[in-house]
Amino acid sequence: MVTIENVDNPEVALNLWLEESELSERESGRVLAVEYEYDQYYLPGSPCIKLLAIYCKDGGDVFFTVAESSHSLHDKVHSMELGLDAFHSFSKINDLPVLNLSAPLLLQTVSIPKPWGREIWYTGIEERGVSRVTDGLFSAPLSWVLSVAPGHLAANRERKINLLKILDPLAEEVYGDLYFELHEEKREVYVVTNVDRQAWPNGVGAIRYGFNPEVRKTFLSDEAFKAAYLDVVQDYESLRRQIDQQLDNYRKAEGIASNDPVSPEVMKGWVLMLSPTVLAQEKKLREEMNCFTSLLPLEEGDVVQVPLLTPHSLQHGVRTVEFQTPVYERMILSFAQKVLTQDHWDTEVALERATVDVSPVPELRLLEEGQGYRIEEIVMFEDFQVTRLTMFPSSEYLLPITDYYGLLMVINGAVKCQNASLTKEHAVLLPAVRSDTQLVNRSDSESIVLLASPV
């Protein structure tokens, strides 16, 4: 029989239990079950729920699972037998994942629809969506998993995990172009993983990145340049609102909420119902507005660091992996569709703060080269860093032990990470307190892995 303890801090109880286990004659098969209150800090009002964490020690490993507590689950725990096999059976019967406290945790994504396509979150913990952790069969919210042992898993940075996500824009021009925006706090870096050949036949896509230096030269000052750009954007925004008001009427007629994304096919059909004169004016103003900005070519494998205060807009059909600080802040300068998440643009304030001079994209710095592998620095921000590990066929690489959690994502090839077989766009969270983690390139070509960690 397993007794459930009510605790304030599950990790304190876990550490005491592990100390007792070391002194016990029977280390393996021991089970600890704890119930604790958990504030869902990422939801409005931070509603509190009770979670139930169950740990099972087997040799040098500690396995665990977590679920929302309930009377029925209590009854099942009380009747659970000791031992790892019983723990696995209990978890499977109750659709709960079995996770290893010191091993890589396989991340399960959540898809966030956008007017330009979608974001695919690996470590998102927000009101809009929460990513999950899976054992391949069952999963639990990442936020719950981290709460079970925040020190072991995240070095107590469980509420500041870097956001790892994929930007997956539509392939259609305009419809798949992201907001032209800037950030004051959020640091981000893009790694291009695919360029849609239907959108970009030569395989070279783009990101709208800063302002056009040639156009700037035609003005007496940066202030005059910004003023002229603001005038054009405001003209476009005024027309944009007229168009969006008409499109909202079509939404209403179809029973679609005014701020819900719709497919590009539906949107194209609605747009064709607009006046040709209005559409021609929209295109003219949009092109005038975009003339003030620059396009940076992008190919698969390219890396773009986005400095603070630099306006940018990933273009249609360019799929990228993004690492960013976990803050939600931005200022929208312009957008060629309706903005669904706010009722205004921030052009005037954003322009006051925007950087006009954009530094060239730096080349990657070689950090280490060994037999069968190469490590390059993608970015070193104040709060986190990202490196790129290239592994040659059949090579191995032992991840260094650190005091921080890490994020690992495969973007090319196939890699075995301890017991997990990872292929393209699979990602894991590396616990802060972890056992030796060996990577093995299982493909007959190069495998490429991205690694991120706090600084």
- 190-218 confidence digits (pLDDT tens): 999 999 999 999 999 999 999 999 999 99
Looking only at the bridges linking them, the beta strands covering 30-39 and 4-6 are parallel
Here the contacts of 140-143 (C-beta below 8 Å, separation 24 or greater) are: 140/65, 140/66, 140/67, 140/96, 140/97, 140/99, 142/107, 142/429, 143/40, 143/42
Model confidence at 28: pLDDT above 70? no
Q: Contact 345/334 with Cβ under 8 angstroms?
A: yes
Q: Contact 66/144 with Cβ under 8 angstroms?
A: yes
Model confidence at 435: pLDDT above 90? no
- 293-347 confidence digits (pLDDT tens): 999 999 999 999 999 999 999 999 999 999 998 888 899 999 999 998 888 999 9
Model confidence at 126: pLDDT above 80? yes
Q: Contact 313/208 with Cβ under 8 angstroms?
A: yes
When the candidates are 2.60.120, 3.30.310, 1.10.287, 2.40.50, the CATH number that belongs to 170-353 is 2.60.120
Share the mean pLDDT of the chain: 93
Model confidence at 136: pLDDT above 60? yes
Q: What per-residue confidence (pLDDT) applies to 102?
A: 94
Please, which residues have CB within 8 angstroms of residue 256's CB and are 6 or more apart in sequence? 262
Please, which residues have CB within 8 angstroms of residue 153's CB and are 6 or more apart in sequence? 101, 105, 145, 146, 405, 429, 431, 432, 433
Would the CA dihedral through 142, 144, 147, 153 be positive or negative?
negative
Residue 76's alpha-carbon distances to 28, 32, 98, 181, 235, in angstroms, are: 21, 14, 16, 51, 64
| Cβ-based neighbour number of residue 285 at 10 Å | 18
Q: What per-residue confidence (pLDDT) applies to 24?
A: 62
Model confidence at 26: pLDDT above 60? no
pLDDT grade, residue 23 (50/70/90)?
A: low
Model confidence at 13: pLDDT above 80? yes
CA angle 164/181/450 to nearest 5° reads 20
The string of DSSP letters for 157-194 reads -TTSPPEEEEEEE-SSTTTTPPPEEE-SS--EEEEEEE
pTM, entire model: 0.93
- 366-424 confidence digits (pLDDT tens): 999 999 999 999 999 888 999 999 999 999 999 988 889 999 999 999 999 988 899 99
- Distance (Å, rounded) from C-alpha 407 to C-alpha 424? 14
225 CB-side CA count, 13 A: 20
What integer is the mean pLDDT of 121-132? 96
- Distance (Å, rounded) from C-alpha 416 to C-alpha 151? 26
Q: What per-residue confidence (pLDDT) applies to 228?
A: 97
pLDDT grade, residue 281 (50/70/90)?
A: very high
Percent of the chain with pLDDT over 90: 82
What integer is the mean pLDDT of 438-444? 91
Structure tokens at 131: 């990513």
- 221-264 confidence digits (pLDDT tens): 999 999 999 999 999 999 999 999 999 999 999 999 888 888 88
- 48-65 confidence digits (pLDDT tens): 999 999 999 988 899 999
Phi and psi, residue 418, nearest 5°: 55, -115
Bridge partners, residue 140, by sequence: 133
The string of DSSP letters for 39-65 reads E-TTSTT--EEEEEEEEEEETTEEEEE
Structure tokens at 122: 């690996």
Q: Contact 310/190 with Cβ under 8 angstroms?
A: no
Q: What per-residue confidence (pLDDT) applies to 163?
A: 94
CA-derived radius of gyration, the chain: 25
Please, which residues have CB within 8 angstroms of residue 283's CB and are 6 or more apart in sequence? none
The string of DSSP letters for 321-349 reads EEEE-S----EEEE-SS--SS-SS--HHH
Residue 160's alpha-carbon distances to 41, 127, 153, 173, 383, in angstroms, are: 12, 15, 12, 35, 10
Class of CATH domain 365-454: mainly beta
Looking only at the bridges linking them, the beta strands covering 110-114 and 139-141 are unpaired
Phi and psi, residue 192, nearest 5°: -75, 125
Q: What per-residue confidence (pLDDT) applies to 260?
A: 86
pLDDT grade, residue 148 (50/70/90)?
A: very high
Q: Contact 2/33 with Cβ under 8 angstroms?
A: yes
- 150-201 confidence digits (pLDDT tens): 999 999 999 999 999 999 999 999 999 999 999 999 889 999 999 999 999 9
Q: Contact 279/271 with Cβ under 8 angstroms?
A: yes
Model confidence at 364: pLDDT above 70? yes
